[in-house]
Structure 1
Amino acid sequence: MDVSHGSPGQTDIPSIAVVVSSRNWPMISKYRACVRTQGSKVEMIDNLFKPVSDKEDEGIRRELLIYFYTSSGNRKPDNIIIFRDGVSESQFNQVLNIELSQIIEACKFLDETWNPKFLVTVAQKNHHTKFFQPGSPDNVSPGTVVDNKVCHPRNYNFCFPGWTVHEV
């Protein structure tokens, strides 16, 4: 999930929210994307759940969940993994309280008894740390994970590539 904004100073251009979802279980490497416009410079996706009546929801998640269901032999996912990009640390609670809440509401709207588990991963690429191999100016080997000493003091994260993980 990500939101794209117009250039700085362009306040009249709407932001574009995009959510990509797996389909065709168990071949989850096939995807479907859903795109919506929203208010200019708004980072939180405001139309993940958008009920228009007691029985109708025009939100992004409903569309993608129904497509997953129909393309996967009428199977509902037991686990939903959310990769969220483009939010700062100060917005982590908003991702959980606004966006994740909308996703949970969309699931309940489709089926009151459905209780999937969620994993929310926020991808942050703004780090100022460079790692080298000991005694060499070369970069570390691909796949290297740094998970202590230079990481966030409270959040479970990997400093390389820089993702912070919150399990819900």
Structure 2
Amino acid sequence: MKKITDNGPEPNVFDLETATKENPNYRTVAWTGKYLQVTLMSIPVAQSIGLEVHEDTDQFVRLDAGKGRVLMGPSKDELNVKVDVEDGWSVQVPAGTWHDIVNTGDEPMQLYVVYAPSHHAKGAVHKTAEDSKKAEESGKDEPPSWTKQP
């Protein structure tokens, strides 16, 4: 995989589809702007992005490889949107919506996420979901101060 460098709010150009398909990490932050952020994700077979909610962040998700099941709803106990997705599908997650995407295929699920506003630390690389959780809990996965937050 060609190295992706998050150069902050500077202009950035790269082959998003190839980078997404070749990303081996649970999460790689590819670019952090003032108002939005692009991350690449690889979800192993039978695992998921993890049930979560972002109160002030909209998300756009696109699958570039693999198959999954999207779960969304107004609470973690009321996930009333259940849709099977695969390569080429997109998912729009409004702020305040509980959501998860479970890998239901037999290969890693490769996807990218656009957050608005930025949600993670500039250039963060989390090899596993556990690494991501530790970074969040330690406060090391906060968006940069120059991003525009609600």
TM-score w.r.t. length of structure 2: 0.24
Greater relative contact order (CA < 8 Å, ≥ 6 in sequence): 2
Structure with greater proportional strand content: 2
TM-score w.r.t. length of structure 1: 0.22
